[in-house]
Amino acid sequence: AQLNILAQLAGKKYFGTATDNPELTNTSYVAQLGNTLDFHQLTPANSMKWENTEPERGQFTFSGGDAIVAQAEKHNQLVRGHNCVWHNQLATWVTEGNFDNSTLLSIVENHCSTLVKHYKGKIWDVLNEVLNDDGTFRESVFFNTTGTAYMGAAFRAARKADPKAKLYINDFNIEGEGAKSTAMINLVKQLRAEGVPVDGIGVQSHLIVGGVPPTMKANLQAFAALGVEVAITELDVRMNLPVTPALLEQQKKDYKTVIEACKAVPRCVGVTVWDWTDKFSWVPGTFAGQGAACPWDENFVKKPAYLGIIEGW
Ligand code: XIL
């Protein structure tokens, strides 16, 4: 049994993984990336972000994203577009442009519309990380200029660009119940009440060994109860290095717990790991002293975590 096979037997649409353009030159990596028994969905980790897709105003570059889509299409894998609007990896012309409200809204609309139109038939993270951990709105250039108006503008432009695209709002630290998850529920309720086309909530799930919130299942259920889809979009479970057998055992349990939470919630449609191998994980470069967050090690050998996912399904 393998990851996607079991996810689909559990009634899910896919098990998937993030990947990135430089990784596609590694032939043994690409062989496993195209193993559809494990992966039926890919997310580009960087190449569809604003700084890469519209580095100058009105000048779009799709080559990086196109390469990921081509890789996915070889194996009939679904693609999650990531992302339309985010405060990070944003082009400096946006942050430094001093645009007024209506200009910035039209910039957001044009960006989302152009992306979603170019990449049709995809799932999209339309908004990424718009909330703070305390549940207040993040003070990005978008919020500071337009208030929350950019949110509806982004979703509406995306819907218009491709009525078939599945449109998500995605965030971290919304795995368990808490202020940020409550804020997400309120925000999605509010947006949908205004007719904003939000189809799903993406739960990133960048977790720490031993730190899966005990309320994860209940929280996913509360999201789903809004009438939207839920997806685990960026799962990894990092640890303080060095790796020990005890940490790997706990990590296995943690992966299993996350999978069981998604499995138990019918509207949780799929799980994506934020790359499948420790060789290409973003964790060591971002969290000093931490790593080994993926289900395969840096030599592409399956870790106990892989079995945890199997057992979870
Ligand atoms: C990360 C990428 O994996 C890194 O390569 C990049 O340097 C920084 O961004 N949440 C997200 C992702 O939504 O876009 C981030 O991806 C990880 C955290």
| DSSP per position, 54-85 | -SBTTB---HHHHHHHHHHHHTT-EEEEEEEE
Test site for ligand 1: of 88, 207, 290, most ligand atoms within 8 A of the Cβ: 88
Best residue for ligand 1 mutational test, from 208, 282, 283, 287 (most atoms within 8 Å of Cβ): 282
- Separation of CA 274 and ligand 1 centre (Å): 9
Is the CA virtual torsion 71, 49, 269, 151 positive or negative? negative
The stretches of 75-227 forming alpha helices (DSSP H) are: 92-95, 101-118, 141-146, 149-161, 179-193, 216-224
pLDDT in tens, the chain (313 residues): 899 999 999 999 999 999 999 999 999 999 999 999 999 999 999 999 999 999 999 999 999 999 999 999 999 999 999 999 999 999 999 999 999 999 999 999 999 999 999 999 999 999 999 999 999 999 999 999 999 999 999 999 999 999 999 999 999 999 999 999 999 999 999 999 999 999 999 999 999 999 999 999 999 999 999 999 999 999 999 999 999 999 999 999 999 999 999 999 999 999 999 999 999 999 999 999 999 999 999 999 999 999 999 999 9
What are the pocket residues of ligand 1 if the criterion is a CB atom closer than 6 Å to any ligand atom? Answer: 45-46, 128, 204, 234, 282
Measured CA to CA, the distance from residue 201 to residue 223 in angstroms comes to: 7
Q: Which of 109, 175, 229, 234 is catalytic?
A: 234
Domain spanning 3-312: CATH superfamily: Glycosidases (3.20.20.80)
pLDDT at 1: 85
Q: Quick one: which atom of ligand 1 is closest to the CA of 86?
A: 13
Contacts (Cβ under 8 Å, ≥6 apart) of 312: 255, 256, 257, 258, 259, 260, 263
- Model pTM? 0.98
* Distance between Cα 194 and ligand 1 center (Å): 30
Distance 281 CA to ligand 1 centre (A): 10
Q: Ligand 1, atom 16: nearest CA belongs to which residue?
A: 45
pLDDT at 108: 99
Interval between CA 140 and ligand 1 midpoint (Å): 17
C-alpha of residue 160 to centroid of ligand 1, in Å = 27
**Is position 234 annotated as part of the catalytic site?**
yes
Closest atom of ligand 1 to CA, residue 49: 14
